[in-house]
Amino acid sequence: MSARLIESLATTEALAEVFSDASILRAMLDFEAALARVEGRLGVIPAAAAAAIERAANAPDFPVADLARETLRAGTPGIPLVKALTERVHASDPAAAAFVHCGATSQDVADTALVLLLKRAEALLAADHARLDCALRDLSTKHQNTVMLGRTLLQPAPPVTLGLKAAGWLGAIRRGWTRLSASFAEARIVQFGGASGTLAVLGDQGSEVGRALAKELGLGSPDAPWHTHRDRLAAVIAACGVQTGSLGKMARDVALLMQGEVAEAAEPGGAGRGGSSTMPHKRNPIACSLSLAASHRVPGLVAAFLSAMVQEHERAVGGWQSEWPTVAAVIQATGLAAASMAEVAEGLLVDETRMRANIEATRGIIFAERISMALAPSLGRDAAHKLLQQAMQQSIAQHRRLIDILSEMPEVTRILPAAKLGELDASESYLGSAETFRARLTSTE
């Protein structure tokens, strides 16, 4: 796995590779190579110099450990990278070395490299969100008629369907992905502004070079450099925060359904998945745990990024330097949560018999609202409510069904015949608009 052991519960293998040293270095060198190519074509630098720079940028053996050490002293990875690249160009073509990094500043390299990494990460997140969307649609459709307890404040409530619950997860996650995808698209832009964001060293060619560089890298070209304007990146990070919250909500629901006392659903198992080092009987909600851990970490990271948005003048002191590890951690956490919940949705084990048994275990008190509404027109709302409270207390104390208690009350049987009363604790006939809502949430139109 590309991730360090300490990050092994915080990322997927694919996202760890995206933010690996080799990947970051490649993104920065891609910027330098693309800049040289563009400036060579436009006559800003000699074509021979552009070719020499591109060859050097494609060398595989840049000393990453040295670059990291020097970055700590320089305050930016761009300075040691450009130094190392210039030395390599000089070794093969001394004249070309003078044209390395022409017109750019160190933050141009770092910001554009980060955007290139986000572009790669977006594709990975999109794939797992597509998996999750498909799996939740299938789960919702399969269980559109699977009745289960509704639960409010963790207590039994009138019934819902598993199909509606899954559709609720899907709706939130779809909305979140729409926001996140849009923010990714807005942030997919090049950074090229030079020393003070004016590209003055390039004269009247600065804007043309910037547009050509963006095209060369497959990125958008902004109206102006954005060195201290971090709103686009902030939108990505904030959208990740919302999305991990929605993924965490799904994870929390599934984990609660897996509790032994509930036992209505379970994550898919498999070798090394969900076991315990001391209790062989356990199936732990591991994928849910990973998603919940991500949803706990990300809000603080979002706050850290937002607090660093207040950046000074044309270049920041400390704010910009805080971003790389924050962005990497947020994107990886979001990706891990999405991948984990896709795994859960694709293989969720559902015990419909247990769902039915848990409804029956309430002895019908979850239908008190329904019965009260049936009695209210004749008795009045307050009187019906008091009567139901009395009946429920007896039902709980005597471990008897609520409708059996009610059938012994003359004030009830005068209004509701036994046959009618017997229908009032049937789950399937008290689902209201559940299917309408489920269908709306899962619609692809």
Last residue of a domain, one of 343, 359, 375: 359
Q: Which residues are catalytic, by number?
A: 276, 315
Are 252 and 339 found together in one domain?
Answer: yes
Report residues of the chain scoring pLDDT below 50: 276-281
Domain of residue 31, CATH code: 1.10.275.10
pLDDT the model gives residue 278: 47
Are 44 and 149 found together in one domain?
Answer: no
pLDDT the model gives residue 147: 98
In a domain, 93, yes or no: yes
The 3-state secondary structure of the chain reads CCCCHHHCCCCCHHHHHHCCHHHHHHHHHHHHHHHHHHHHHCCCCCHHHHHHHHHHHCCCCCCHHHHHHHHHHHCCCHHHHHHHHHHHHHHHCCCHHHHCCCCCCHHHHHHHHHHHHHHHHHHHHHHHHHHHHHHHHHHHHHCCCCEEEEEECCEEEEEEEHHHHHHHHHHHHHHHHHHHHHHHHHHCECCCCCCCCCCHHHHHHHHHHHHHHHHHHCCECCCCCCCCCCHHHHHHHHHHHHHHHHHHHHHHHHHHHCCCCCCCEECCCCCCCCCCCCCCCCCCCHHHHHHHHHHHHHHHHHHHHHHCCCCCCCCCCCCHHHHHHHHHHHHHHHHHHHHHHHHHHHHCEECHHHHHHHHHCCCCHHHHHHHHHHHHHHHCHHHHHHHHHHHHHHHHHHCCCHHHHHCCCHHHHCCCCHHHHHHCCCHHHCCCCHHHHHHHHHCCC
In a domain, 4, yes or no: no
Contacts of 91 (CB under 8 A, 6+ apart): none
In a domain, 3, yes or no: no
Are 35 and 182 found together in one domain?
Answer: no
Are 166 and 231 found together in one domain?
Answer: yes
In a domain, 214, yes or no: yes
pLDDT the model gives residue 272: 53
Are 205 and 230 found together in one domain?
Answer: no
In a domain, 257, yes or no: yes
Question: What CA–CA distance (Å, rounded) separates 156 from 118?
Answer: 44
pLDDT the model gives residue 296: 97
pLDDT the model gives residue 277: 42
Last residue of a domain, one of 316, 338, 359: 359
Last residue of a domain, one of 309, 326, 359: 359
pLDDT the model gives residue 283: 76
In a domain, 211, yes or no: yes
Are 68 and 204 found together in one domain?
Answer: yes
Rounded to two decimals, the pTM is 0.94
Are 178 and 291 found together in one domain?
Answer: yes
Are 264 and 153 found together in one domain?
Answer: yes
**Which range marks the domain in which residue 78 is found?**
11-104+194-218
Are 369 and 315 found together in one domain?
Answer: no
Are 296 and 426 found together in one domain?
Answer: no
pLDDT the model gives residue 365: 93
Are 382 and 304 found together in one domain?
Answer: no
In a domain, 38, yes or no: yes
Are 240 and 206 found together in one domain?
Answer: no
In a domain, 6, yes or no: no
Give how many domains the chain has, as a whole number: 3
Domain of residue 366, CATH code: 1.10.40.30
Domain of residue 284, CATH code: 1.20.200.10
